[in-house]
Structure 1
Amino acid sequence: MKKRSLVLILIVFCLSATSCFDLIQKAGEATSSGMDSSESTSASNYVTVGVDGSFQVDLPRHMKSTSELNDEAVLQYANIFKDTYFIVIQENKSEYVELFKQFGEYNTELSVIENYKNSQKELFKEGIVNARIQEYGLNSINNYAARQLKVLGEVDGTQIAYVVAFIEGDDDIFMLMNWTAKEKFNKFENSFEYINGTFKLMDL
């Protein structure tokens, strides 16, 4: 993990939200039909994608690979018409711990994943206007130490809602970010949770 990567997580996090809404404006407004019904969490509506030799995750078939959301992401998918977005940030665990200890921002009484979650929560609070953060009380995903947050707030004048998971592997820490416009969150929240719950590390 480069120092630049950690410092810029907040910056690219905000830019990613801005970029996706710019894309929406260019593509035209999505239809509002079906806004009240939740997105399906049937496994048949999802396809497994990932990074070879690292991890895999199931995403809705309607989402397509993109490179427009976040320069630091190792995986990113979107559907601009449904207004749904997903990225994965991958950090080297030992380098994260070393760097944050160096700056006095690491609590040795807490686990690595708890420290990582707390550091990202602080970045969300700084980067999102009127940020409201709720913890799901989740402790693991597929037997990996994990945490999950719901984040609501305003970025560049737009109300956005995120479901963010932090997952700890043997060598790396992963941040999975799903987001949409706040008014569509009820439709997609269950789907976002389902996506995070399918994350698996690949056996080398």
Structure 2
Amino acid sequence: MRKILLVVLLALVATSCVELISEAGKAASEQINNQPVSTSAHNYEKVSLDSVFHVDLPIYMKPMNQLNSDAVLQYGNIYKETYFVVIQEDKNEYVELFKEFGDYNDELPVIENYKNAQKNMFTESLTNPIFQDYGLSSINDKPARQIKIFGKVDDIEVVYIIAFVEGEKDIFMLMNWTVNDKLDKYENSFEYINGTFKLINK
């Protein structure tokens, strides 16, 4: 009886050890998978839009065409759930339109007004959005702002890292996003992408 009990106990211990090793392996794998992706230049490729701008994007991102109908550039990876688009708007048209609507503050820079307008747009389109400003003022010597937005789309928790860049004639919105639980992995990469955005003769 004692021998049988001992065998049973040893079996339980063995099973527990296997489970512990298995769980440890899973935890290690998850930790590796959640490590921030590299921001080394060789992991990125320069993508240009005509003679307007260029930006460095991760080599795992590929061109897409259904992310945003207003975008002039769309890249992403559906398996990694990472996406990037650039929206380009005529600066004078924006200023005139929002002044007409009474939603423009002449005491603020154009880029600050544009950032605030876009934050209002996201407030309408996301559920329970939370905004965080980076305090960034320029990207490659152009007036710029950058924000992080947490929110829900169709009950899916998402996070955006968005930069706004002002050129002489146009304003650009650089929009990166992923699901919330992948932010730690891709946040540095998104910030790196925004920092490489450069206007060409603008």
Query: Which category describes the TM-score, using the shorter chain as reference length?
Result: 0.7 to 0.9
Q: What residue is the counterpart of 1:42 in the other structure?
A: 40
* Count of aligned positions: 174
Residue 127 of structure 1 and its aligned partner are, at CA, apart by 1.2
RMSD between aligned alpha carbons? Answer: 1.4
Q: Could you tell me which of 160, 165, 168 is aligned with 1:167?
A: 165
Q: Could you tell me which of 146, 149, 152 is aligned with 1:151?
A: 149
Q: What residue is the counterpart of 1:21 in the other structure?
A: none
Structure 1 gap ranges (5+): 1-30
The alignment partner of 1:39 has SS state of coil
For residues 17-96 of structure 1, the aligned pairs below 5 Å read 34-96=32-94
Residue 33 of structure 1 and its aligned partner are, at CA, apart by 7.7
Residue 95 of structure 1 and its aligned partner are, at CA, apart by 0.5
Q: What residue is the counterpart of 1:115 in the other structure?
A: 113
TM-score normalised per structure 1: 0.83
Q: 1:33 to 1:83 in 2, by over 3 A?
A: farther
Residue 32 of structure 1 and its aligned partner are, at CA, apart by 6.3
Q: Could you tell me which of 102, 106, 128 is aligned with 2:126?
A: 128
Structure 2 gap ranges (5+): 1-28
Moved >3 Å (runs of 4+): 31-34
Q: Percent identity between the aligned chains? A: 58
Structure 2: distance between partners of 1:81 and 1:34? 17
Alignment-mate amino acid for residue 189 of structure 2: S
Residue 156 of structure 1 and its aligned partner are, at CA, apart by 1.0
The structure richer in helix per residue is 2
TM-score normalised per structure 2: 0.84
Q: What residue is the counterpart of 1:188 in the other structure?
A: 186
Matched, 1:203 2:168: no
Contact 1:50–1:56 (8 Å) recurs in 2 = yes
Q: Which protein is bigger by CA-based radius of gyration? A: 2
